[in-house]
Amino acid sequence: MLTILAITTLFAILAIVPRALAQAAHTYRPTPMPKQWQPPGAWLRQAMCIHRHESVDWHRAGRDWQGRPSPYFGGMQFLVSTWRRAGGSGLPSDASPREQLYRAYRIWDMGAGRMGDGLGSWREWGTAGACGLR
């Protein structure tokens, strides 16, 4: 039997997802993930710290720790618009953990200066401070 909270949560998610997808779909073109992408070790340690503070589930979709509606998806808790900016398609929560990390790396790499300079920024993630990354 569905509770009122569960029904309210379901309706909120159904309201958020299509709107977020529609807004993001018109802005960025999807880009394929390289088959041989390997994250730098230091970056991966930082990313996993953020993952531990963001979500315990790589496939969490549209809800927070307490089950309330949320605009964030996946193990790195992407906004759909951020996911699109990184070249992702579909929902982050439907992508593999490896692809989620690749898209997070692209956002990190865009964060400070030129792409590819290795001087990224975790400013997109609110939990970066908990990992000493701010």
Whether the pLDDT of residue 13 is over 90: the answer is no
**What are the backbone angles phi and psi of residue 61, rounded to the nearest 5°?**
-130, 110
- Structural domains counted in the chain: 1
Residue-range definition of the domain harbouring residue 108: 4-131
DSSP assignments along 44-61, one per residue: HHHHHHHHHHH-S-TT-E
What pTM was computed for the model?
0.73
Q: pLDDT tens digits for 88-132?
A: 999 999 999 999 999 999 999 887 655 555 668 888 888 888 888
